[in-house]
């Protein structure tokens, strides 16, 4: 219960007492004023008429008065001038400050836009340049694939570039992150890929530190974390490369290439036994060619990631493109999450995240945000940040999912039988199979029930030539500038509405609800498009993906026409 304010009402006795005191005080003040009497200002008597030189004295007095008045006026004018000067200076300073602020904002916006443009331009162009350098300099090219989606990590443009470069270049496939896939699935993929290129099963080491970095435990025992302990398949790969260098009778350079977050740098680190290359969860950490000496006969060349072509489908762009999750738009991230969920088994996703049944991506993200405590003001789920976090989980090594290899072996048109034989010439394939079997037996795998079934989108196209990147950069610039304009408008509107906290809260809730509605509409359209495009492949894979996401109408009582033909 709220506390009541104290009443200002007084008792009559108290009120009369106060009035009496006031009357006494007034009486006292009047008495004192009478005693003092009224002091009138004394008049100037002037010069008496009998005084000699009266006229001269009067003139002098008038002159003095005039001088005093002139002095006063001059002082007044000088004061006014000083005030005007000060005002002008202040006005100039204010105008200069306002101009500087405006110019600073414009220049900052322009510089941001320019830096973003040049960064995106230069980074993409430099990525292509560095990748070409690596391909040209290397005798053996290792294409690193994520074992969870090997077909989605293959780049036909890269493979074609290596095949057409000449100079007896060899291409090896390295199947990384094999500990995140069930054993049967891994064996199927190895059998499928070895028919096209020699394939090595690999599990790179994690939690590696620099040589200088050491850690102290509670018992003061020194534990050196610079050496690897959890690497599998490194002996097999090193043997292959050493045999190839012996057949060539020279020291070889081995280029490591692939899409972002497949584990290129971590493979080099695990082969070297020390953290020689920078590794991180963010995409595109490696930005230039880096040479790492493993022994006298082999040099490893670390390369930046392959840039995914914008013509790829949404799934390939979500998993394989170099996205900065902090700067990328929420619509792109939501599209990516939607595409990932569309290519997974719904029940397995629910089981993995321990979330109840959901109708669409928006609902799934809001449930996940509530579960993980990612909330905004007023308990509204933070959908954008949870979507970015989910994308990072799927590209990183957190989630175990697997895709099935194609039913029939259909090599791409650039892979003829002669080319396949060429690539397999200098390698001992029997030893390779034995080593792969040894690594398979040594590892622990997730159970097929705990691993999510994933439908691969096929090979992902990549851009290797610089000329193709320029056009994309110009489009990117326009998008960046438009986004910045919108951000500035939003900043101005937010700064104006900082007066009432309660109003802000209400407005935030309303705006977020509107944004959610628009997002739902967008996602509905996208999903309808994706469903229409994927009618043919869904008929083929109906047995594999019987539990796909339900795309019902917005209403709860909407009739689903698919229920008659289960």
Domain boundaries, the chain: 124-208+225-311+403-446+456-463, 314-395
* pLDDT number for residue 207: 59
Q: Measured between alpha carbons, how far is 511 from 488 in angstroms, rounded to an integer? A: 17
Of the candidate ranges 76-85, 120-129, 225-234, 503-512, the one whose mean pLDDT is the lowest: 503-512
Q: Quick check: 201 and 190 in contact, CB under 8 A?
A: yes
Q: Measured between alpha carbons, how far is 178 from 436 in angstroms, rounded to an integer? A: 11
List the beta strands (DSSP E) in 99-232.
140-146, 170-176, 199-201, 214-216, 222-224
Q: What is the DSSP letter of 123?
A: H
Comparing 277 with 224, the larger pLDDT belongs to 277
Integer angstrom CA distances of residue 160 from 154, 181, 233, 415: 11, 28, 26, 8
Q: Which residues contact 132 (CB under 8 A, 6 or more apart)?
A: 464
Q: What 3 state SS string does 504-528 have?
A: HHHHHHHHHHHHHHHHHHHHHHHHH
**307: part of which helix (H) or strand (E)?**
strand 307-308
Q: Which residues contact 58 (CB under 8 A, 6 or more apart)?
A: 47
Task: Give the residue among 396, 412, 224 at the shortest CA–CA distance from 325.
Answer: 396
Comparing 477 with 339, the larger pLDDT belongs to 339
Q: Quick check: 108 and 140 in contact, CB under 8 A?
A: no
Residue whose pair of structure tokens reads 């162009």 in the numeric block: 125
Comparing 536 with 412, the larger pLDDT belongs to 412
Q: Which residues pair with 299 in a beta bridge?
A: 253, 293
Mean pLDDT of the region 472-487: 42
Q: Which residues contact 509 (CB under 8 A, 6 or more apart)?
A: 377, 378, 380
Q: Quick check: 145 and 153 in contact, CB under 8 A?
A: yes
Q: Which residues contact 452 (CB under 8 A, 6 or more apart)?
A: 344, 345, 348, 349, 352, 399, 400, 401, 402
Q: Which long-range contacts (CB under 8 A, 24 or more apart) does 325-329 make?
A: 325/388, 325/391, 325/392, 326/388, 327/116, 328/388, 329/483
Q: Measured between alpha carbons, how far is 128 from 117 in angstroms, rounded to an integer? A: 16
Confidence label for 2 from pLDDT (cuts 50, 70 and 90): low
What are the DSSP calls for 414-426, one per residue?
T--HHHHHHHTTT
Residue whose pair of structure tokens reads 């609800």 in the numeric block: 513
Of the candidate ranges 109-113, 300-304, 438-442, the one whose mean pLDDT is the lowest: 109-113
Q: What is the DSSP letter of 249?
A: T
Comparing 542 with 130, the larger pLDDT belongs to 130
Phi, psi of 170, rounded to the nearest 5 degrees: -110, 145
Tokens of 333: 């991230």
Q: Quick check: 278 and 302 in contact, CB under 8 A?
A: no
Q: Are strands 170-176 and 140-146 parallel, antiparallel or unpaired?
A: parallel
Q: Quick check: 300 and 291 in contact, CB under 8 A?
A: yes
Phi, psi of 181, rounded to the nearest 5 degrees: -130, 145
Q: Are strands 298-302 and 290-293 parallel, antiparallel or unpaired?
A: antiparallel
Mean pLDDT of the region 193-200: 88
Q: Quick check: 233 and 439 in contact, CB under 8 A?
A: yes
Share of the chain above pLDDT 90, in %: 11
CATH code 2.30.30.30 for 124-208+225-311+403-446+456-463: no
* pLDDT number for residue 533: 44
Task: Give the residue among 480, 477, 472 at the shortest CA–CA distance from 125.
Answer: 472
Q: Quick check: 320 and 522 in contact, CB under 8 A?
A: no
Q: Measured between alpha carbons, how far is 296 from 302 in angstroms, rounded to an integer? A: 17
Q: Which residues contact 252 (CB under 8 A, 6 or more apart)?
A: 139, 140, 241, 244, 245, 297, 298, 299
Residue whose pair of structure tokens reads 């989108």 in the numeric block: 457
Comparing 509 with 305, the larger pLDDT belongs to 305
Q: Are strands 140-146 and 298-302 parallel, antiparallel or unpaired?
A: unpaired
Domain 314-395: top CATH class:
mainly alpha
Tokens of 82: 């000083």
**pLDDT, tens digit (0-9, with 9 covering 90-100), for 128-144:** 888 888 888 888 899 99
* pLDDT number for residue 22: 97
Confidence label for 15 from pLDDT (cuts 50, 70 and 90): very high
**pLDDT, tens digit (0-9, with 9 covering 90-100), for 357-399:** 888 888 999 999 998 888 888 889 888 888 888 888 888 878 8
Q: Quick check: 339 and 313 in contact, CB under 8 A?
A: yes
Phi, psi of 222, rounded to the nearest 5 degrees: -85, 120
Q: Which residues contact 250 (CB under 8 A, 6 or more apart)?
A: none
* pLDDT number for residue 318: 83
**pLDDT, tens digit (0-9, with 9 covering 90-100), for 219-236:** 444 444 433 357 788 888
Judged on CB neighbours under 10 Å (0-12, 13-18, 19+), 518 is: exposed
Q: What is the DSSP letter of 398?
A: S
Q: Measured between alpha carbons, how far is 461 from 158 in angstroms, rounded to an integer? A: 9
Of the candidate ranges 213-217, 428-432, 451-455, 521-525, the one whose mean pLDDT is the lowest: 213-217
Confidence label for 67 from pLDDT (cuts 50, 70 and 90): very high
Q: What is the DSSP letter of 256?
A: E
Largest CA distance in the chain: 145
């Amino acid at each position: 219960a709220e506390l009541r304010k104290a009443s200002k009402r007084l008792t009559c006795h108290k009120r009369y007492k106060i009035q009496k005191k006031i009357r006494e005080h007034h009486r006292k003040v009047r008495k004192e004023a009478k005693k003092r009497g009224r002091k009138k200002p004394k008049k100037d008597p002037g010069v008496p008429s009998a005084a000699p030189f009266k006229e001269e004295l009067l003139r002098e007095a008038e002159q003095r008065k005039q001088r005093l008045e002139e002095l006063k006026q001059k002082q007044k004018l000088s004061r006014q001038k000083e005030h005007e000067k000060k005002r002008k200076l202040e006005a100039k300073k204010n105008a200069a400050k306002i101009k500087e602020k405006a110019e600073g904002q414009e220049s900052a916006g322009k510089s941001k836009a320019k830096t973003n443009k040049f960064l995106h331009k230069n980074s993409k162009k430099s990525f292509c340049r560095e990748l070409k350098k690596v391909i040209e300099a290397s005798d053996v090219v290792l294409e690193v694939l994520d074992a969870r989606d090997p077909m989605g990590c293959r780049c036909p443009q890269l493979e074609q570039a290596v095949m057409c470069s000449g100079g007896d270049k060899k291409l090896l496939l390295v199947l990384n992150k094999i500990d995140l896939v069930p054993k049967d699935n891994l064996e199927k993929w190895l059998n499928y890929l070895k028919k096209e290129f020699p394939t090595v099963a690999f599990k790179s080491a994690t939690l590696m530190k620099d040589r200088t970095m050491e850690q102290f435990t509670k018992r003061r025992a020194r534990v050196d974390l610079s050496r690897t302990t959890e690497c599998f398949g490194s002996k097999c790969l090193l043997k292959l490369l050493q045999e190839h260098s012996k057949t060539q009778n020279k020291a070889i350079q081995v280029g490591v290439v692939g899409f972002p977050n497949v584990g290129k740098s971590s493979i080099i680190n695990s082969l070297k036994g020390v953290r020689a290359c920078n590794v991180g969860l963010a995409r595109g950490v490696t930005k230039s060619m880096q040479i790492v000496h493993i022994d006298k006969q082999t040099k490893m060349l670390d390369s930046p990631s392959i840039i995914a072509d914008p013509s790829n489908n949404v799934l390939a762009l979500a998993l394989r493109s170099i996205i900065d999750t902090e700067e990328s738009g929420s619509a792109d991230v939501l599209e990516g999450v939607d595409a990932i969920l569309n290519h997974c088994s719904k029940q397995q996703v629910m089981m993995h995240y321990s979330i109840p049944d959901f109708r669409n991506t928006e609902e799934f993200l809001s449930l996940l945000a509530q579960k993980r405590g990612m909330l905004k003001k007023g308990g509204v789920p933070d959908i954008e940040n949870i979507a970015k976090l989910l994308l990072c989980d799927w590209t990183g090594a957190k989630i175990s999912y697997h895709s099935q290899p194609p039913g029939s072996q259909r090599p791409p048109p650039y892979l003829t039988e002669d080319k396949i034989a060429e690539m397999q010439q200098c390698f001992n394939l029997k030893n390779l199979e034995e080593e792969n079997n040894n690594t398979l037996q040594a590892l622990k795998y997730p159970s097929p029930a705990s691993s999510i079934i994933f439908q691969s989108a096929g090979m992902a196209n990549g851009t290797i030539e610089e000329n193709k990147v320029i056009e994309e950069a110009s489009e990117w610039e326009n998008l960046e500038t438009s986004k910045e304009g919108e951000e500035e408008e939003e900043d101005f509107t937010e700064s104006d509405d900082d007066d009432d906290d309660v109003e802000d809260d209400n407005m935030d809730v309303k705006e977020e609800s509107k944004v959610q509605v628009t997002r739902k509409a967008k996602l509905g359209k996208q999903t309808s498009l994706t469903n229409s495009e994927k009618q043919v492949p869904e008929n083929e894979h109906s047995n594999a993906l019987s539990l796909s996401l339900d795309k019902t109408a917005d209403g709860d009582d909407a009739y689903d026409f698919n229920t008659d033909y289960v």
